[in-house]
């Protein structure tokens, strides 16, 4: 199928690359996708989405005629001027971003005057300048370079691509930046056209700020547990202040995912490398790590030693509507439970396949009710919609004990308690228990507003 829109190449077809490819195809471009993972390319050619992302499979199918998948760069080089790079930049042991996949792509791209490398991967500030020096050293100085960081969130990635809050394009003002701006123009999003280093920093600073907001409200939640306040009420009151806003202000058992932990660490490390100690981000990371472990303390408070206790985890993915298990809180939680000798069962609607590769020592159940069968305690780890709609009377009947820890403050405590379960959320010290008794962690009785039933947690990317 031919099109008047600029054809593009996308190198790396993971969460970002595939969504970017499907999005540009939807806007009318032919997209030449390249990935070194032959099995992934095979699945994509067969019309299968190798990741779970709502609406992705349908979008790939609808635009199948415009999407081309290969393990070779040749097609992208032949047909596209703009080569979007969306390879992984995972953390190294030092906390720096591992740029080896980015460098592999740079090394593979031949010299050409009318080609540009457009960086979608999240890279440290200064990477663009380094890569341009590498181009020069390799005799490829005519290649253009554009930083175009990606802000999509897994679970709503297509929507985020098609209706972005902003598009950031960092370049030296040449043809390539203009062409990228043109590609995104139909979306009508506010444009931030800036220099490469600033574009790179916009991405890192945005993720670091959102992570800071989450760690902040988690610390407020921990103080609420000591003082009898309800963090859901506190966040509601704070969030209505337009200067603060209600997003990323939901307390829970910590942020995870492939972006926040690594990007916060990478920015802290980047600052450290240039001689600046980023005190605030050091705390944000530490608070998050401790937050994941607080569930263990709550379980011990009610069950004593966890040895041979049966604990069911509802949800494993780092957030709902994704199968991504990278840095998920469930990884730390299940490992800690195993270390304490607990018998762990778990159910996740879509992340089991990914989880099996990363988690050992737990039993995977086929449904939420099967997971809670015989459990002494249940922990809501990921707020999938189906868990919010559970019949808690049936949960109570299936369990051996009665403790439910709502790690995402996503459930209606009244509904859980009416089913005969002992509810404990995060920072909900004053949420009333049946008969007017205070919640387990607090002293003051209060009524739970119905809107709390819909409280959602981490909206991390």
User: Residues in the site for ligand NAD, rule: CB under 6 A?
Assistant: 11-17, 34-37, 40, 86-89, 101, 104-105, 120-122, 150, 152, 154, 258-259, 461
The phi, psi pair for 86, rounded to 5°, reads -135, 40
Q: Minimum distance between the CB of residue 416 and ligand NAD, rounded to whole angstroms?
A: 31
Choice between 9 and 228, CB closer to ligand NAD: 9
CA distance 444 to 433: 10
Cβ distance to ligand NAD smaller for residue 89 or 330 = 89
- Give the residue numbers marked as catalytic: 259
Which C-beta is closer to ligand NAD: that of 168 or that of 344? 168
Q: How far is the CB of 65 from ligand NAD (least distance, A)?
A: 22
Tokens of 47: 């019309």
In whole angstroms, how close is the CB of 203 to ligand NAD at the nearest point?
7
The per-residue b/e assignment along 40-52, b for 16 or more CB within 10 angstroms, e otherwise, is bbebbeeeebbbb
**Residue number with CB closer to ligand NAD (59 or 232):** 59
Distance in Å, CB of 101 to ligand NAD, minimum: 4
Q: Which is nearer to ligand NAD, 288 or 354 (CB)?
A: 354
If the CB atoms of residues 20 and 345 are measured against ligand NAD, the closer one turns out to be 20
- What minimum distance in Å lies between the beta carbon of 431 and ligand NAD? 32
Structure tokens, 62: 């609808």
Cβ atoms of 363 and 344 within 8 Å: the answer is: yes
Question: Quick one: how far is CA 24 from the chain centroid?
Answer: 22
Q: For residue 346, give the H/E element and its range.
A: strand 343-347
Report the alpha-carbon distance of residue 354 to residue 351 in Å, rounded.
5
Q: Which residue is nearest to ligand NAD (CB)?
A: 14
Closer CB to ligand NAD, 90 or 361, in the complex: 90
Q: How far apart are CA 97 and CA 100, in angstroms?
A: 9
d(CA 69, CA 311): 43
Instruction: Convert 298-331 to b/e letters by CB count within 10 Å (16 or more is b).
Output: bbeebbeebeebbbbbbbbbbbbbbbbbbbbbbb
In whole angstroms, the minimum distance from the beta carbon of 145 to ligand NAD comes to: 16
The two tokens of residue 219 are 């610390």
Distances (CA, A) of 358 to 316, 331, 355, 362: 11, 8, 5, 11
> What's the closest the beta carbon of residue 278 comes to ligand NAD, in angstroms?
19
Question: Which residue is listed with tokens 């780890």?
Answer: 381
For residue 31, the minimal CB distance to ligand NAD (Å) is 14
- The SS3 of residue 326 is coil
Distance of closest approach, residue 49 Cβ to ligand NAD, in angstroms? 12
CA dist 300 and 289 (Å) reads 18
Token code pair at residue 119: 């960086």
Report residue 346 as tokens. Answer: 């778990």
- Roughly how many angstroms between the first and final C-alpha of the chain, as a whole number? 33
- If the CB atoms of residues 63 and 258 are measured against ligand NAD, the closer one turns out to be 258
Q: How far apart are CA 390 and CA 195, in angstroms?
A: 50
Cβ neighbours for 278, distance < 8 A, ≥ 6 positions apart: 267, 268, 271, 272
CA distances from 89 to 20, 127, 130, 170, 200 (A): 17, 12, 16, 19, 13
CB of 109 or CB of 183, closer to ligand NAD: 109
């Amino acid at each position: 199928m031919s099109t008047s829109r600029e054809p593009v190449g996308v190198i790396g077809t993971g969460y970002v690359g595939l969504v970017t490819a499907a999005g540009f195809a939807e806007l009318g471009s032919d997209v030449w996708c390249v990935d070194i993972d032959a099995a992934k390319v095979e699945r994509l050619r067969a019309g299968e989405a190798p990741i779970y992302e709502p609406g992705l499979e349908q979008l790939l199918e609808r635009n199948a005629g415009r999407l081309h998948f290969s393990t070779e760069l040749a097609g992208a080089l032949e047909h596209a001027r703009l080569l979007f790079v969306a390879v992984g930049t995972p953390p190294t042991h030092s906390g720096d971003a591992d740029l080896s996949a980015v460098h592999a792509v740079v090394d593979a791209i031949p010299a050409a005057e009318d080609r540009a490398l457009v960086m979608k991967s999240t890279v440290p500030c200064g990477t663009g300048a380094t890569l341009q020096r590498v181009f020069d050293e390799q005799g490829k100085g005519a290649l253009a370079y554009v930083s175009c960081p990606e802000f999509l969130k897994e679970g709503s990635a297509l929507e985020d691509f098609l209706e972005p809050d902003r598009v950031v394009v960092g370049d030296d003002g040449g043809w390539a930046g203009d062409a990228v701006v043109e590609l995104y123009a139909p979306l009508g999003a506010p444009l931030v056209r800036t220099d490469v280093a600033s574009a790179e920093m916009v991405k890192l600073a945005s993720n670091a700020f959102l992570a800071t907001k989450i760690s902040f409200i988690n610390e407020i939640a921990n103080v609420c547990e000591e003082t009898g306040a309800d963090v859901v009420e506190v966040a509601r009151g704070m969030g209505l202040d337009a200067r603060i806003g209600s997003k990323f202000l939901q307390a829970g058992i910590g942020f995870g995912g492939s972006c926040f932990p690594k990007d916060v660490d990478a920015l802290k490390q980047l600052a450290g490398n240039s001689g600046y100690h980023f005190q605030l981000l050091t705390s944000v990371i530490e608070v998050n790590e401790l937050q994941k472990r607080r569930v263990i303390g709550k379980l011990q408070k009610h069950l004593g030693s966890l040895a041979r206790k049966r604990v069911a985890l509802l949800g494993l993915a780092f957030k709902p509507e994704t199968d991504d298990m990278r840095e998920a809180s469930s990884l730390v939680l299940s490992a800690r439970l195993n270390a304490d000798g607990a018998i762990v069962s778990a159910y996740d609607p879509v992340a089991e396949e990914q989880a099996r590769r990363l988690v050992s020592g737990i039993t995977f159940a086929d449904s939420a009710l099967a997971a809670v069968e015989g459990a002494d305690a249940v922990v809501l780890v990921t707020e999938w919609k189906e868990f919010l709609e559970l019949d808690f009377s049936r949960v109570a009947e299936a369990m051996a004990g009665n403790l439910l820890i709502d790690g995402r403050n996503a459930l209606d405590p009244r509904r859980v308690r009416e089913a005969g379960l002992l509810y404990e959320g995060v920072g909900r010290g004053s949420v009333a228990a049946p008969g007017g008794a205070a919640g387990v962690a607090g002293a003051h009785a209060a009524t739970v507003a119905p809107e709390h039933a819909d409280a959602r947690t981490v909206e991390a990317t």
